Structure 1
């Protein structure tokens, strides 16, 4: 995304006929997908009938984009926004539907309008980055007071009780191993990579895993507990160092593939993979590692999560937790809301702040953070690569039985997350934990 303007500004709806900006949608999706199937996408097939709310949404949106370095194209050649040539371009194909969905669902409706094709962009991550950088300022101050009544509340069935957590995890990770294999690197690592100059994605993923293992002092003869198996790459690299590993997951699909990978690599005798909740872990270990698992735990259960790590860690042991993070102020504002991400991608989750992590450790464990490594921009690059790979595999996604609405949903998810990291709204960090630190 360009941060400088090389052309005229458009502070309100104007006409502009620049043919250079009428580019086709990226490979792997259509800017005009078929309408969502009512049986597969309940609530998306019909446009909400909320004329009053749609009018309010239109006014708020127009007010917001006047200040943003983005060009919003409407039917008939009209353009809104403070962006110039080179700034991200957003195309609203069906304004009535776009405003109705936002009026009915707020930011959830904004994402749903993308899913149906009511709006589109060649660079959705660029557009969303502009919005993310100014997110707290987009709604006029008088309307900010109505925020708590306008935002959706999380459904009770997404609570991360032991049974609820299994359902929440299954909804995402049990979609299809083959789907994830289309856009992840061969290691099947589904978390932020850690890049050094010259790294491709596989090398950067191994660099991240090795940093976690180093932080937890994993080596020959180490007994390791991994909370959150993924598809097994961290356990494999720990076993290759001579460690004995117990790794736990709530995903049947992940356990099946991880077991096969352990057997094929010749490490089945060193790695045990259990279908197990972190609250059910027994035994003691020299090292505990957990990569991007805490985001799915839920604020109510962070004390239990860290207490489980504390119980499992042998005297003198070390733990390393990698977590997506956000500021404490943003976390507190988001803690009781239900977002597009909860509805369609990760039910039941909440991203913690570093302060929340430190507070939970201090109140509920003997553990303290002894080292912290932040690398948020690396996640933006990881997501960019994933999104490129996903878009290039459109035909293969179709062949797995996922429709065009799903493809647009998944692209929006990856772009939405990338924008969060590019804007600094989100971060990611590795927290090294140990006892006996004041």
Structure 2
């Protein structure tokens, strides 16, 4: 997939501004419409909020006279007018688009975003938070995860390029949180940490010789391969054509085609009974209106005595409710149609489907380390990413996405859980 094109915004002729492909990035290439009053209000609110946080906001002129004694993360505004105008028009979507447009930077992007994540409820005055619904953007109906919509949404992220993901993931191409032997994690340990995570999930699912295993969300096939190596018979389903192609290739190369079937299939179009169902960081792509059906499918797909094992990113319930009503920068550019659930939402919807949680353990700090290693490798591979056809706006978008996600875990705004569900319930020791 190529993201470069000859259609470039006129902003490219302005000194100091990033050339932007206006066809590929229309809302980044042009500044949004926003009245002078709205922009001024946004500037006042943003400056007031940031002044109360442990960070510095500067312009390039300020940097020339800075003494460098402060250890606080720095937000450098290259174009304050554009920055405040985007936020005035589009809130946090504008904040992200401003970064994509090179209008602001930071000497410690993760540190800056961690501060903002820790104080997310303090960024706007309480009276304005109560009026939030009047000015935020609502999620597009076209992003709903209907049968057709889910395929489109998965395609937009996971079918970007297998070669792109290979540049920053471990050799097994595992795109979910690792579990390290010790923290902080090291790049040299990432593959082993991913295997440790997969093996914990397979142990929780009690996968062994003869186990009939269904995996919902194939990725690039590493879990299916490790399950088959234990002697399991694996059916793994995905909506990503690119991932399926690579997974089939890897299964064939491993000589496990007799034990692993990789299908391009929606979980809602899947039948059968399985001793175990494993789904790793897939519930985030389901969408809240489809959670009842998702947990109902898990129940229906389990054989008597079977176990469903999830690895799921979670957020606090009150923040989930706000996010569910809001079109965010992440939902616009990174994961259309997605929503991170809360532990309460998982418990409620699984119970309604007749499933009980028997195990629930968190590894949020391990995800922060996983994301750090991915981000560092992604940045180290800038030239290779560019050679695949991904332009600078895309690279800044993905840098922000990886840093934003890491900050969420470092601020404990996000967590990642390994959860076991059964039809019998009853917490395990």
1:23 matched residue in structure 2:
none
Shift of 1:33: 6.4
Shift of 1:75: 3.7
Indicate conservation of the 8 Å contact 1:36/1:45, yes or no. yes
Out of 168, 171, 174, the position equivalent to 1:186 is 171
2:334 matched residue in structure 1:
345
2:247 matched residue in structure 1:
258
Kindly report which structure 2 residues correspond to 1:113-152, keeping only aligned pairs within 5 A, or say none: 113-152=98-137
Post-superposition Cα deviations, 1:36-88, rounded to whole Å, max 9, x if no partner, equal 21111112111224222211111111111111111111242179xxx971121
Q: Distance in 2 between matches of 1:206 and 1:65?
A: 41
Q: Distance in 2 between matches of 1:340 and 1:437?
A: 38
2:53 matched residue in structure 1:
68
2:6 matched residue in structure 1:
none
2:220 matched residue in structure 1:
231
Q: Distance in 1 between matches of 2:73 and 2:85?
A: 23
Q: Distance in 1 between matches of 2:50 and 2:319?
A: 22
Q: Distance in 2 between matches of 1:361 and 1:300?
A: 14
Post-superposition Cα deviations, 1:332-386, rounded to whole Å, max 9, x if no partner, equal 11111110001000000111111101100111x2211000010111111100000
Out of 418, 421, 426, the position equivalent to 1:430 is 418
For the residue of structure 2 that corresponds to 1:191, the secondary structure is coil
1:301 matched residue in structure 2:
290
After the TM superposition, which of the residue ranges 39-48 and 283-292 deviates more from structure 2? Answer: 39-48
Out of 141, 151, 156, the position equivalent to 1:171 is 156
Post-superposition Cα deviations, 1:139-160, rounded to whole Å, max 9, x if no partner, equal 0122112211111100010011
Indicate conservation of the 8 Å contact 2:41/2:88, yes or no. yes
TM-score (norm 1): 0.90
Out of 260, 272, 278, the position equivalent to 1:283 is 272
Matched, 1:399 2:383: no
1:368 matched residue in structure 2:
356
Indicate conservation of the 8 Å contact 2:286/2:339, yes or no. yes
Q: Distance in 1 between matches of 2:316 and 2:406?
A: 17
For the residue of structure 2 that corresponds to 1:160, the secondary structure is coil
TM-score (norm 2): 0.92
2:398 matched residue in structure 1:
410
Shift of 1:109: 0.2
Shift of 1:122: 2.8
Indicate conservation of the 8 Å contact 1:70/1:84, yes or no. no
Indicate conservation of the 8 Å contact 2:27/2:97, yes or no. no
Superposed structure 1 runs of 4+ greater than 2 Å apart:
32-35
1:322 matched residue in structure 2:
311
What CA RMSD, in Å, does the superposition of the two structures yield over aligned residues?
Answer: 1.4
Aligned residues between the structures: 403
Out of 36, 39, 43, the position equivalent to 2:23 is 39
Q: Distance in 1 between matches of 2:297 and 2:425?
A: 19
Q: Distance in 2 between matches of 1:335 and 1:414?
A: 21
Indicate conservation of the 8 Å contact 1:33/1:405, yes or no. no
